[in-house]
Amino acid sequence: MSMDLAEFTDRLDAELRHDDYADLDASENGLQVGPDRAEIDHVAFAVDGVRETVDRAVEAGADALVVHHGISWGGIDRVTGRTYDRIAPLIENDLALYVSHLPLDGHQDLGNAAGVADVLDLADRAPFGELGPEYIGQRGTATEPYAPDGLRDRLDSTLETGGQAARVLDFGPDEIEDVAIVTGSGADWLDEAVAADVDALVTGEGKQKVYHEAQEADINVVLAGHYATETFGVRSLQELVAEWDDDLETTYIEVPTGL
């Protein structure tokens, strides 16, 4: 049984509250490539909307591809070069591209930070990572305290890291209970983590300065990989879509970068 593309995108837009993030996110969230009307019966999911995931979605016979990182970040001036190489196969193969960036980071049930919190078995969760009136992360308390290396090992054993181990800047307490999470590139929320008096900030990647900032603030920082910390949201959306309609086929496309 097929689903109307407009209904599909409207339901995702509402669940992810895209309108609330419209003035906060550089990404053009929602349907980035696709017709006004179409029927879909197979949806692929991936972290990145790039040539490899598009090609694999086409090979799988998908009608739509849902990703976290899309191709339009505040507008497209020219459809040439790599932009053309990404857009052309979408149009040539009638493959719609749907994107959710920051809304999928911050969704407190389906989001990337919520997925990392699940892995760490955090309780007493609350929104974290302020961005204007919204949040892009989550914080919580470990049911059993972690040592810094134990926290890293827990993430390494679960996340799709592409064989790259998470890195720990162990400048904080030896016993970690309170944890803040901003996935992807979330080191800029270190000061908020310090103000919240957490023991560790878990993110994907960090700028060079975070080493000294964490050391001076006496806080642990775990860098678990941008890609690795952002697979949870699209996987949750895949499960949600499957619940909408058992006959709607779904495929997950895994392309770990190790970064």
Using the 3D structure, point to which of 46, 68, 100 is the last residue of a domain: 100
For residue 235, tell me if it sits in a domain: no
In a domain, 238, yes or no: no
| Per-residue pLDDT, 1 | 65
Residue 242 lies in a domain: no
Given a contact cutoff of 8 angstroms between Cβ atoms, the answer to whether 136 and 105 are in contact is yes
Which pTM value belongs to this model?
0.96
- To the question of whether residue 18 is assigned a binding role by annotation, the answer is no
Is 68 annotated to bind a ligand? Reply is yes
Q: How far is residue 50's CA from residue 47's CA, in Å, rounded to a whole number?
A: 9
Q: Is 42 annotated as a binding residue?
A: no
Q: What is the 8-class DSSP label of residue 164?
A: P
For residue 225, give the nearest of 158, 147, 159 by alpha carbon: 159
pLDDT of residue 145: 97
DSSP structure class, residue 231: S
Max CA separation in the chain (angstroms): 57
pLDDT at 216: 98
pLDDT at 245 over 90: no
DSSP state at residue 243: H
Query: Are 61 and 22 a contacting pair, CB within 8 Å?
Result: no
Q: How many CB atoms lie within 10 A of CB 82?
A: 10
Mean pLDDT throughout 104-118? 98
Q: What is the mean pLDDT of residues 114-129?
A: 98
CATH number at residue 125: 3.40.1390.30
Same domain, 176 and 94: no
Residue 94 labelled as part of a binding site: no
- Residue 36 pLDDT level (bands cut at 50, 70, 90): confident
Q: How confident is the model at residue 58 (pLDDT cuts 50, 70, 90)?
A: very high
The CA-to-CA distance between both ends of the chain, in Å, stands at 38
Say yes or no: 159 and 117 in one domain.
yes
pLDDT tens-digit readout, 153-202:
999 999 988 888 999 999 999 999 999 999 999 999 999 999 999 999 99
pLDDT of residue 194: 98
Residue 226 is assigned to a ligand binding site: yes
Structural domain span for residue 73: 3-100
Return the pLDDT at 178. Answer: 98
- What pLDDT is recorded for position 179? 98
